[in-house]
Amino acid sequence: MKRHLISAADLSRDDALLILDTADELAKISERSIKKLPTLRGRTVVNLFFEDSTRTRISFEAAAKRLSADVINFSAKGSSVSKGESLKDTALTLEAMGADAVVIRHSASGAPHRLAGWVRGSVVNAGDGTHEHPTQALLDAFTMRRRLGSLDGRRVAIVGDVLHSRVARSNVLLLATLGAQVTLVAPPTLFPVNVDSWPCEVSYDLDAVLPKSDVVMMLRVQRERMNAAFFPTEREYSRRYGLDRDRVARMPDHALVMHPGPMNRGMEIAAEVADSPRSTIVEQVANGVTARMAVLYLLLGGADLGGEN
C-alpha cells in the first residue's frame, strides 16, 4: 500500500481487498467487551478538520482510539486558521508535534495532496471539496460485501447530486477496482463535465435503473455547495430522483439502500425508506469505525516506510 490515502484510485485491487479483509477481522473487536487493541500505542493521529463534520471526525477518532493511538483534534474554528494561518504553516506545526498520521477534511479539492508534500507522516483524506472521500468508499464497499458477499459483477446505482459529491467519485473508483458495475443517476445538470471518462455508466432515468440494481446509494443534495439553480424545485427533484416506498418496491428483494449521511429526509430519501430493514444507513456508521481502523492499522501499524510514496 502507498504511504498516504488521498484517492480511492491509490488502491490496487489487492490493497482494497487487504483493507476489507482486515476490517472483517477488526469488526469482531467491536463486539468484545474490551474494544481496544494496543497496536498503535505511542503513535499520534491528528484530525485536521477545516470543514464541519460529525460522523467522519468521530469515526476517525474512535478508530484511532480503539487502536490505542493518541488523538489530537483540530478544527479550524477557534484555531489560528481563523487568524489567517496558511495550510502549510498549520502542517508544519503538526509536523513539529510529531504527528504520525494526519486525517484531513478540507473544502478545497487537492488540499490533502498538498499536505502530503509537507509532512512526514501519512495523510488520510477525510473529504476534500468535491474531489474524494476514500474512507467513505471503503466503508461502503465493506458494508456491501458484508451484506452481499463478493462485489464482483454486482450492480450499484449511485443516485443524486453527483456533481458536488466526493463520495460518488471515490465510490465509482473503488467499486470499479473491486469489479462492481456502477451506474450514476442524476439530472443532467448534476453531472460533472468529464463524467464520461469515469469507469461507470450514466443514466438520467432512476426508474429504469432500479430493477437491475443490487445496491442503490442515495447522495445528499448539497445545497451549501450549490451556487446556481440545478433543478427547478426541491419537490420536482424529489419526485424524479427521490427514493420513496414505490420505488423501493421496484428494486430486487435482496437490494440494499445506502446513504452516506447526513440525510435530507423527504428530499432524496423518504423517511420510511431510510428506516426500513434493507437500509444500511446505521450499519454504515458502525462499519465506518471498523474500515478506518483497518486503514490506520495498515498505514501506521508496520515499519516506517521512510518517505516512500
Binding-site residues for L-aspartate: 83, 166, 220
The two beta strands, 201-203 and 44-49, are unpaired
Stretch in the footprint of another protein (CB under 8 A) among 85-93, 196-204, 278-286, 292-300: 292-300
Please identify which residue in 2, 10, 15, 18 interacts with another protein, judged by CB under 8 A: 18
Burial environment of residue 86 by CB neighbours within 10 A (0 to 12, 13 to 18, 19 or more): exposed
Please identify which residue in 50, 198, 231, 297 interacts with another protein, judged by CB under 8 A: 297
CA distances from 162 to 96, 157, 176, 198, 259 (A): 38, 11, 16, 12, 13
Please identify which residue in 153, 302, 306, 307 interacts with another protein, judged by CB under 8 A: 302
What's the CA gap between 218 and 9, in Å, rounded? 22
Stretch in the footprint of another protein (CB under 8 A) among 89-97, 252-260, 277-285, 296-304: 296-304
Active-site residue flag, 240: no
- Site membership for another protein, residue 22 (CB under 8 A): yes
Please tell me the total number of residues recorded for the chain in this structure.
309
Please identify which residue in 12, 13, 36, 266 interacts with another protein, judged by CB under 8 A: 36
Q: Which three cell numbers stand for residue 100?
A: 504520525
Beta-carbon count within 10 A of 87 CB: 17
What's the CA gap between 126 and 60, in Å, rounded? 9
- Out of 2, 55, 114, 250, the active site residue is 55
Residue 245 phi/psi, 5° resolution? Answer: -60, -40
Element (H, E) at 116: helix 111-116
- Site membership for another protein, residue 63 (CB under 8 A): no
Q: Least distance to another protein from the beta carbon of 288, Å?
A: 19
Total chain residues near another protein (CB under 8 A): 22
Element (H, E) at 247: helix 245-249
**DSSP state at residue 17:** H
> Which residue, 36 or 88, is less far from another protein as judged by CB?
36
> Which residue, 281 or 300, is less far from another protein as judged by CB?
300
CA 146 from chain centre, in angstroms, equals 17
- Site membership for another protein, residue 65 (CB under 8 A): no
What's the CA gap between 59 and 171, in Å, rounded? 18
Active-site residue flag, 120: no
Q: Least distance to another protein from the beta carbon of 237, Å?
A: 44
> Which residue, 71 or 298, is less far from another protein as judged by CB?
298
> Which residue, 15 or 234, is less far from another protein as judged by CB?
15
> Which residue, 280 or 290, is less far from another protein as judged by CB?
290
**Secondary structure (3-state) at 205:** coil
Please identify which residue in 9, 37, 195, 263 interacts with another protein, judged by CB under 8 A: 37
- Out of 133, 154, 247, 259, the active site residue is 133
Q: Least distance to another protein from the beta carbon of 24, Å?
A: 9
- Site membership for another protein, residue 236 (CB under 8 A): no
What's the CA gap between 254 and 20, in Å, rounded? 21
What's the CA gap between 285 and 1, in Å, rounded? 25
- Out of 4, 22, 43, 56, the active site residue is 56
Q: How many helices (H) and strands (E) does the chain have?
A: 11, 9
Q: What amino acid positions are annotated as catalytic residues?
A: 55-56, 83, 105, 133
Task: Kindly list the residues in this chain that would bind another protein in the complex (CB under 8 A).
Answer: 1, 18, 21-22, 25-26, 28, 32, 34, 36-39, 297-305
